[in-house]
Amino acid sequence: MNTNPLDLMHYQNSVTIQKILHNAKTIAIVGLSSNVLRASHFVGFYLKRHGYNIVPVNPRESEVLGEKSYKSLSEVPIPVDVVNVFRAPPTLPGIAKEAVRIQASSLWCQFGVVHEQGAHIAEEGGLSVIMDRCIKIEHARYIGWDSIPIRLLRFVADCSKMVRKNTNSVSATNHFSESPILIEL
């Protein structure tokens, strides 16, 4: 039995974190809740708002944030780049095995989700592993405004086109509330 404590610094490498965040497109969030008071909900909302394709994985949910929820990772019908975990540490080995099985690129374990065996399973399966770090906080730290949502950029581009065409107003969808807005120029 290994008596050495787990070296979390190995699983919190800033270069690895940045590579994952810059290369990921689809993030399966295991434990994503429809309860707006849960951290998983806020993180999912944030990631979706910043252009990631999120896939809820929670057998207790049918839909979260407008996305179909799956009972397990193996049911997800599209390729997954990152498996983000909001579950208790003892569940991590099983989730890591599933992440390897679906050929995800990375396993990201939120604050408090630390399990040595789970990390080793994922690493042996070829996944990058981040543990005891929040993907939302790390995204804000390393990418932040560099990933201004595409809809906002399109809106600004539409506004500038309308100004060049001497149009008096432009309508678009408010990025934050999804409600239509009209701007008089």
Domains of the chain, CATH where assigned? 8-145 (3.40.50.720), 148-184 (no CATH)
What is the per-residue pLDDT across 44-53, written as a single tens digit (0 to 9) for each? 999 999 999 9
Using an 8 Å Cβ cutoff, are 171 and 180 in contact?
yes
| pTM of the predicted structure, to 2 decimals | 0.78
Using an 8 Å Cβ cutoff, are 92 and 37 in contact?
no
The Cα 151–Cα 154 span in angstroms is: 5
What is the per-residue pLDDT across 14-44, written as a single tens digit (0 to 9) for each? 999 999 999 999 999 999 999 999 999 999 9
Average pLDDT along the chain: 86
What is the per-residue pLDDT across 81-138, written as a single tens digit (0 to 9) for each? 999 999 999 999 999 999 999 999 999 999 999 999 999 999 999 999 999 999 999 9
Q: Give the chain's radius of gyration (CA, Å).
A: 19
What pLDDT does residue 135 have? 98
* DSSP codes of every residue in 127-170: -EEE-S--HHHHHHHHTGGGG--HHHHHHHHHHHHHHHTT-SEE
The Cβ of residue 176 has, within 10 Å, a number of other Cβ atoms equal to 10
Query: 5 pLDDT exceeds 80?
Result: no
* From 4-13, 76-85, 164-173, the region with the lowest mean pLDDT: 164-173
What pLDDT does residue 84 have? 98
Tokens encoding 82:
């990152």
The torsion defined by the Cα of 112, 117, 123 and 125, in degrees rounded to 10, comes to: -130
